[in-house]
Amino acid sequence: MRFLLVEDNQQLAAAVLDRLALDGHVVDHAGDLGMAEDYISATDYDLILLDIMLPDGDGRDFLNAQRARGKDTPVIVLTARSEVSDRVGALDMGADDYIPKPFDFAELEARCRAVLRRRTGTATNVKRFGNVAFNALEGTLTNGDRVIPLRNRELRLLEVFFGAPGQIIPKPKLVDRLFSYDEDVSENAIEVYVGRLRKKLEGSDVSIVTVRGLGYRLAVP
């Protein structure tokens, strides 16, 4: 997916770019509203992450101008201000959602997914292996001709597996993706979710294989 990040803080922008790239997204970074204008006139983005306080103006004015021009690229506002006072303004001006800084990447992903689901429907980003299709946006797994709904953690787990088919994924990495930082979980908790996914993948061309002592691997045809 293609993101535009409008954020004037270089260090934060670097970290967000790093993270989104790790997840396999393409991200452009604009340090101010002028650059952001240049980027969106040249490229179509799936989603814009927009900071509010920018050196050359207020992000909400930019958003307002975009909407007035009929551009409806989904926008998630990143705000460092107090949640209550900003909420009204940002959503009223046509933002699809907003997330206060500092944010949890898992929450940001969840919000992006929710916004994209609302805005673009279903057809994009379906990954297929053999008789299995995984639609991350919709949160469904198609096994043969069965369409199986996924819970959020199953969805995120599958995202990791389908993002790196055939590779060994260590358990700690899965823990990071699945659980929030204020939960004290053991790596064994992963087994529960892997077990559920195996059940849903039963009889398909795809399976999750345990690699003893190392982690798991998605075996694809």
Partner 1 sequence: MWPFHAPGSIRLRLTLQLLTGAAVMALVLFLIVYSFARQIGAESQDRILSASATSILDATTVQSGNISVDIPYSAFTMLDNSVDDRVFYRITQDGEGLTGYDDLPSARQDQGTGPAFDTVTYRGEELRIATLTRRVSVGGTPTRIDVTVGQTRDAQADVLARILRMTVLLGFGFFAASALLAILAGRSTAASLSRLAESVSRRGPQDLRPVVAEVPSEMRPLVASLNSLIARLSAALTRTEDFIAEAAHRVRTPLATVRAHGENTLRRVSKEENRVSLREMIRAIDESSRAAGQLLDHAMVSLRADQLELSPVALRPLVADLVDRLRPVAELKDMDLRFEASEEQEVMGDTILIQNAVRNLLDNAIKYAPPETPIDVALTRDEATATLTIRDQGIGFPATGADALTGRFARGENATGVIGSGLGLTIADEVARAHGGTLTIANTEGGPGACVRLSLPLR
Interaction site with partner 1 (CB under 8 A): 9, 11-12, 15-16, 18-19, 22, 53, 80-85, 87-88, 97, 100-107, 110-111, 113-114, 151-153, 170, 172-173, 176, 180-184
Minimum CB separation of residue 77 from partner 1 in Å reads 13
**166 vs 172, beta carbon nearer partner 1:** 172
Dihedral of the alpha carbons of 29, 33, 38, 39, in degrees to the nearest 10: 30
- Cβ atoms 7, 31 nearer than 8 A: yes
Length of the chain: 221
CA distance 221 to 212: 21
Minimum CB separation of residue 221 from partner 1 in Å reads 28
C-beta atoms surrounding 210 within 10 Å: 12
Minimum CB separation of residue 69 from partner 1 in Å reads 27
**72 vs 83, beta carbon nearer partner 1:** 83
Read off the tokens for 190.
Answer: 């992963």
**22 vs 68, beta carbon nearer partner 1:** 22
CA distance 42 to 40: 5
Minimum CB separation of residue 145 from partner 1 in Å reads 26
CA distance 107 to 61: 25
What is the gyration radius of the CA atoms in the chain, in angstroms?
Answer: 19
Angular region, 108: left φ>0, alpha ψ -120 to 50, beta rest: alpha
**114 vs 126, beta carbon nearer partner 1:** 114
Minimum CB separation of residue 79 from partner 1 in Å reads 9
Write down the residue that tokens 């770019």 correspond to.
17
Minimum CB separation of residue 174 from partner 1 in Å reads 11
